Structure 1
Amino acid sequence: MRALKLHPLSVAERLADLAVDALIDEADLSPKPALVDRRGNGAHRDLHLGLMHASALSLWPMFLAMAEAARDIGEVGLPLREALGRIGREGEQAMLVTTLGVNTHRGAIWALGLLTAAAALEPQSLHPNAVTLAAAKLALLDDRHAPQPMSHGAQVAQRYGARGAREEAQLGFPSVLQRGLPQLHQSRQQQAGEQNARLDALLAIMTALADTCVLYRAGTAGLHAMQHGAQAVLDAGGSATLAGRRHLHELDQQLLALNASPGGAADLLAACLFIDRLDGAF
């Protein structure tokens, strides 16, 4: 009997796999401060780990369609930007059907959607700087068909002058390139272990990010608690050390008490994991 032979994955299929894997790995990572993980729901009443997994899997066709659109259109420009907007809105609706209306990954759709399309444009040139630059160029284009609701992130950006997900992408994901990825690589080099390295990358992003999810839930007090607490963990040696774990537990308890969940940082960690895997993906 001949063994079943599966067809080789296309570039678009592989990129969709990487995007979904990044979302699932971010959700599974534990212990994340005040976020859904393997321990529980964090500061959320309407989220749990199974829902995060189901939501991530529901987005695979969307990421595939975005990568295929980038491949077919072939260049950064308004046609691709508007195609991505349409596909993203359709993907968000599919997500909401899966989650019964709970917003699990709206921010991640924006960030990972742009990065998936950017990677598909030049799959032979997947250096982080090149991919984020192409994503930034796409983010700077206005989608004429996009609705203009005042989202939580937009409200917070307007009230506090914070840099939201849109500006983070337009600037080329500096929280990922300047903080998340360097810390991920540094912790790996220090033999911290992969899970601890990913936690350290999340914390590095949290140290400077004006996380609009935290600002919406807990204002500037919550933001300062997040940034200073994350820095304290890294200053103590990171999540692989006993002192770092003690500070991480304190940060978790403090953010839970404030009902402050760093969802923006979590989305950027998923983006960080996606970019980190691109080099060896093809």
Structure 2
Amino acid sequence: MKGSHLEKFTSAVASMAVSSLIEELELTPKPGLVDKKNTGAHKDLTFQLMRASADSLRDTVKEIVFVSYGRLPSQSLREEIAAIGRDGEKRMFEVTDGINTHKGAIWSIGLLASAFSTGKGRFTTEEILSMAGKLARYPDRYCPVTDTNGKRVIKKFGVKGAKGEAQQGFPHIRQFSLPMLNHSRAMGLTEEKAKLYALLSLMAHLDDTCILHRGGSDGLSSVKEQAAFFLISGDFDLLNQMDEEFIHQNISPGGSADLLAATLFLDKISKIQSLNEVSNEYQLI
């Protein structure tokens, strides 16, 4: 691939990643999460700050895509994209004044973008998920040893967390959110409602470490039960009720939000690949 073409490819993938983060942010109403209606259970966040944070990650994704292009999964590649991700976190924290807005999204979307690039933009969704899992299973010898909320929750409650989810090839995206997104569209729901169904399918099944950190096992069980009930009832008024309850209980399904953004990213990739089959006008490479 010539330099100019590679530059177009990296820019296109980065744009899809940022757009996915912004679409997740704008989706309303999201129980306990920042959206166009309110800031959910996050008193330290604003819609504008989340938007600025998403925009700040564009160069991070571009760099990850660039170094990953056409390479096989390896510990070297894993460590290279991890270093880029940590630099991206620093830029994010500069924009947010130290508030963690998208650290989880950098991890998940960064891995998926890298996996897509290793296949030179030709991998299917299943191949992207599988490759991302392979990359995540390589150790990062340079990862700083820190005590985070996520690590404490994983140890306390025995859940796999974002790292385990990635190492297994993002099973909750493969089994729940992506099929739900496509099924909801096939049933004739609007894009907004289809995305909400995808989010609630994640909330109904994921051992969300953000929920566990704030609400413990009881809080997680309650969120899963309410999300499952919504999926059965299809009553969108329940989302506003859940939002009020989550805000009162200081519960945020942040892990589910990160995976929804990753789901939307994969969805965009699949659409581009489909368009490539019928028109060169949309080709990325």
TM-score bin, normalised by smaller chain: over 0.9
Pick 1 or 2: higher relative contact order, CA cutoff 8 A, min separation 6. Answer: 2
Residue of structure 2 in register with 1:144 after alignment? 141
Question: Unpaired runs of 5+ in structure 2?
Answer: 273-282
Contact 1:187 1:200 in 2 (8 A): yes
- With normalisation by structure 2, the TM-score equals 0.92
SS at match of 1:279: helix
Question: How do 1:117-266 residues align onto structure 2 when only pairs under 5 Å count?
Answer: 117-237=114-234, 244-266=235-257
Q: What is the rounded CA distance, in whole Å, between the counterparts of 1:164 and 1:51 in structure 2?
A: 25
Q: What is the rounded CA distance, in whole Å, between the counterparts of 1:264 and 1:148 in structure 2?
A: 21
Contact 1:13 1:64 in 2 (8 A): yes
How much does 1:250 deviate?
2.5
Residue of structure 1 in register with 2:280 after alignment? none
Contact 1:156 1:215 in 2 (8 A): yes
How much does 1:247 deviate?
2.2
> What is the percent sequence identity of the aligned residues?
39
CA RMSD between the two structures: 1.2
How much does 1:246 deviate?
2.6
Residue of structure 1 in register with 2:94 after alignment? 97
Match of 1:54 among 52, 55, 71: 52
Q: What is the rounded CA distance, in whole Å, between the counterparts of 2:63 and 2:253 in structure 1?
A: 29
Residue of structure 2 in register with 1:45 after alignment? 43
How much does 1:40 deviate?
1.1
Q: What is the rounded CA distance, in whole Å, between the counterparts of 1:234 and 1:215 in structure 2?
A: 22
SS at match of 1:280: helix
**1:124–1:44 distance in 2 versus 1, CA, 3 Å:** closer
Deviations 1:194-232 (A, max 9, x none): 000000000001101000000000101210111111111
Task: Give the partner amino acid of 1:17.
Answer: S
Task: Give the partner amino acid of 1:67.
Answer: V
Structure 1 runs (4+) deviating above 6 angstroms are none
Greater Cα offset, 124-133 or 174-183: 124-133
Deviations 1:6-55 (A, max 9, x none): x8762111111111111010001000001000001100011111011100
Residue of structure 2 in register with 1:114 after alignment? 111
Deviations 1:115-145 (A, max 9, x none): 0000011134331110011100010001111
Q: What is the rounded CA distance, in whole Å, between the counterparts of 2:75 and 2:221 in structure 1?
A: 38
Q: What is the rounded CA distance, in whole Å, between the counterparts of 2:46 and 2:238 in structure 1?
A: 24
Task: Give the partner amino acid of 1:206.
Answer: M
Q: What is the rounded CA distance, in whole Å, between the counterparts of 1:188 and 1:13 in structure 2?
A: 28
Question: Unpaired runs of 5+ in structure 1?
Answer: 1-6, 238-243
Contact 1:229 1:248 in 2 (8 A): no
Contact 1:66 1:84 in 2 (8 A): yes
Match of 1:82 among 79, 82, 100: 79
Contact 2:69 2:120 in 1 (8 A): no
Residue of structure 2 in register with 1:4 after alignment? none
How much does 1:77 deviate?
0.3
How much does 1:279 deviate?
1.8
Task: Give the partner amino acid of 1:95.
Answer: M
Residue of structure 2 in register with 1:22 after alignment? 20
